[in-house]
Structures are given as C-alpha cells and as structure tokens.
Amino acid sequence: MPLTVLNYYKIEIQQILIMMFYGLKNIRKDLQLIDDRKLQLKIIFHIALNLIKVRIIMFSRFKKDRDEIMERIDTNLFRTIQEKYRKIAPNENYTKYLNISGYLKRNLKRAYRLNLHKSKPLNIIDFGAGAGYFCFICNYFGHNVMAMDVGKSPVFDELIQLLGINRKIGAIEAFKRLPKFDTDFDLATAFYVPFNKASNPDEVWRVEEWKFLLEDLANNLLKENGRIFFFLHHENDGKHYDRILLQFFLDYNDRLLGQELYFEHTEKFRAVRVGYF
Ligand SMILES: C[S@@+](CC[C@H](N)C(=O)[O-])C[C@H]1O[C@@H](n2cnc3c(N)ncnc32)[C@H](O)[C@@H]1O
C-alpha cells in the first residue's frame, strides 16, 4: 500500500486508538482508586489530548528532527559499540538501548510532550539518564542539560560518552538530599528510573519519601517556576500508587496521568524547607 497522506493519517489514527486502548488499560487500576468521576474523565481527556498532540507534532517534524539528530552522532563509533555488545542479550546490562532508532523516537516523543522543541533554552536535569538519548535531544533543541545516574552500566557509560553528555554520578535515595549543582534548573525529569523501589522491590516509596524528594527538588535544585516530570515504573501490583499516595499527588497536582507524574508548578513544595542552610 503506497504511503499517501490519506494512508498516513489512517495509520496514525489506528495507532492513536491502539495506544489509547492500551494506555487506558494500563491506568485502569489507577483510575479505580479515584472516586471522583469528574476527575477520572478529566484524566482520560488529558491522556487522549496528549497522545493526539504528540502524534500531530510527530507528523509535522519527526523525520526532520530524527535525521538532523542522526547527523550529529558519530555512527562509526556507535556501530563499534553495537558490535562490542552484540552477543549480550537485549535485557542484560541495558544492551537493548543500542537500538538507536527506537530509542531516539521514544525520546523525541518525550521532548515533544514537554514542548522542548519550541521552548526558550532551559536548564534541564535528567535523573537516571541511562544512555543519554533524552539529554542529547534536549541539547539538539538548544537546552543545557545535565545527567545524573548511578553509572553502573558499561553500555550506558560508553553511549553517554559518545553523545557527549555531562553526567554526575549519584543516586536518588530515600531521605537523602540530592547533590548540589552549579546551576538551578527549569525542569527535572526521570524516565523509568526505579529509585522509588531501590532498596527492596517489594517496598515502594510512600508519601514521606516522595515528599522529601519533591521538597528537596523544589527548594534546592529548581528555579522558582521549575517543573518536574517523572515517568514512573509500575509497582508490583500493576498500579503506580496506592490510594494514600495518589491523594498526596492529587493535592499538589490535578494533571496526574497514570505513569506520568507531572508537576507544572512546584511552588507548593517550597512550603517546607529542607534546604542547605
Ligand atoms: C531503565 S533505565 C532508563 C534510562 C533512561 N531514563 C531512559 O528512559 O532511556 C534506568 C536508569 O536509571 C538508573 N538508576 C537506577 N536507580 C537509580 C537511582 N536511584 N538514582 C539515579 N539513577 C538510577 C540506572 O542506572 C539506569 O541508567
């Protein structure tokens, strides 16, 4: 079937419907924790809106951005790294991240989702940055980005070096302040970083740990109008939070979207200071 404009839209619409179906299936358990029907509908509406928004941006500029980004990467060196880890299973030591086209697409979607393709230059910190693809894309869109990661994966070490990303070694840990950086940030991100279940996978963070992290971020790392965007791991029961944690997040934010924990305004977290006095 030739890829005419009409066919392109047909495929996109199919994909949107499939993603909405799976997206809603994934957050069904979270939605069941919400008694307020209006809020449930609002969340579903935002999910659909964001999916459509990102798809539209993808249609208008993805190919151009992807090609320009690829031109900035030393593909010979990249292939050497791919070859070196070729025999290691994709889920072992993060070697699946050597599939550059898939991960560039995923990270471009994240940047579009956060409007980074059209915003003024921002200072961004990406926790658990892994290979550094998201950071690289932020740089491409003209932002200053800093990565932080525990740095225990040789694949990520090589990729982040190849991509020229500035990285600090460090971990997000319960009740432990984050390191100080030379600059304040407009945006803090973390995608699929299991910091909230680091010590024991059966024990995930509760309100106290989250409160400490969010207040620390707001008071010590972010600018006054700084934003926080976390893309969470599922908990063991398939939900992203329990009822108490959900209520805590909702008290600060009504743009909760299942796996996405997005605080567009963080001033409320400044109420309690855990700063460097
Ligand atoms: C699944 S990878 C995700 C990488 C990247 N964020 C992405 O989405 O492509 C998880 C990353 O989080 C890092 N990590 C795990 N626990 C962490 C912690 N407590 N603090 C900071 N980074 C952590 C790992 O080293 C790894 O790079």
Model pLDDT, residue 93: 73
Residue nearest to ligand 1 atom 14, measured at CA: 128
CA of 72 to the centre of ligand 1 (A): 24
Q: Which whole-number Å values give the CA distances from 68 to 39, 63, 71, 102, 136, in the listed order? A: 40, 9, 5, 16, 12
Higher-scoring residue by pLDDT: 272, 210? 210
Token look-up 């390191």 returns 179
CA of 97 to the centre of ligand 1 (A): 12
CATH entry, 66-270, from 1.10.645.10, 3.40.50.150, 1.10.10.10, 3.30.1370.60: 3.40.50.150
Which is the closest atom of ligand 1 to the Cα of 103?
A: 9
Query: Which residues touch 226 (CB under 8 Å, ≥6 apart)?
Result: 184, 185, 186, 187, 188, 217, 218, 266
- What's the mean pLDDT in 165-182? 96
Which is the closest atom of ligand 1 to the Cα of 133?
A: 9
CA of 6 to the centre of ligand 1 (A): 40
Per residue in 225-264, pLDDT (tens digit) is: 899 999 887 776 667 778 888 888 888 775 666 778 889 8
Q: Please determine, for residue 273, whether its predicted confidence score (pLDDT) is greater than 60.
A: no
- What's the mean pLDDT in 195-220? 86
Cα-Cα-Cα-Cα dihedral of 39, 40, 44, 50, to 10°? 40
Q: Which amino acid is at 275?
A: G
Cα-Cα-Cα-Cα dihedral of 127, 262, 243, 241, to 10°? -30
Other beta carbons less than 10 A from residue 221's beta carbon: 20
Element (H, E) at 169: strand 167-169
Residue nearest to ligand 1 atom 27, measured at CA: 130
Q: Which of 95-99, 156-160, 197-201 has the highest mean pLDDT?
A: 156-160
Model pLDDT, residue 277: 34
CA of 160 to the centre of ligand 1 (A): 13
Asked if 74 and 100 count as a contact pair (C-beta separation under 8 A), the reply is no
Q: Give the C-alpha separation, 230 to 232, whole Å.
A: 6
Higher-scoring residue by pLDDT: 7, 262? 262
- What's the mean pLDDT in 132-161? 97
Which percentage of the chain shows pLDDT scores above 90?
51
- What's the mean pLDDT in 18-37? 71
Model pLDDT, residue 16: 64
Residue nearest to ligand 1 atom 20, measured at CA: 171
Sign of dihedral through CA atoms 241, 245, 246, 250?
Answer: negative
Per residue in 62-105, pLDDT (tens digit) is: 999 999 999 999 999 999 999 998 777 666 678 899 999 899 99
- What's the mean pLDDT in 201-215? 87
Q: Which of 133, 141, 140 shows the shortest CA–CA distance to 149?
A: 133
Model pLDDT, residue 276: 41
Q: Please determine, for residue 185, whether its predicted confidence score (pLDDT) is greater than 90.
A: yes
Residue nearest to ligand 1 atom 4, measured at CA: 130
Residue nearest to ligand 1 atom 12, measured at CA: 128
Q: Where in the chain is the domain with CATH 3.40.50.150?
A: 66-270
Q: Please determine, for residue 275, whether its predicted confidence score (pLDDT) is greater than 60.
A: no
H helices of 217-272, in order, are 243-252
Residue nearest to ligand 1 atom 23, measured at CA: 128
Residues lining ligand 1, judged by CB closer than 6 Å? 127-130, 133, 149-150, 152-153, 156, 171-172, 191-195, 198
H helices of 72-181, in order, are 75-84, 100-113, 133-140, 154-162
- Most ligand 1 atoms within 8 A of CB, residue of 150, 169, 203 to mutate: 150
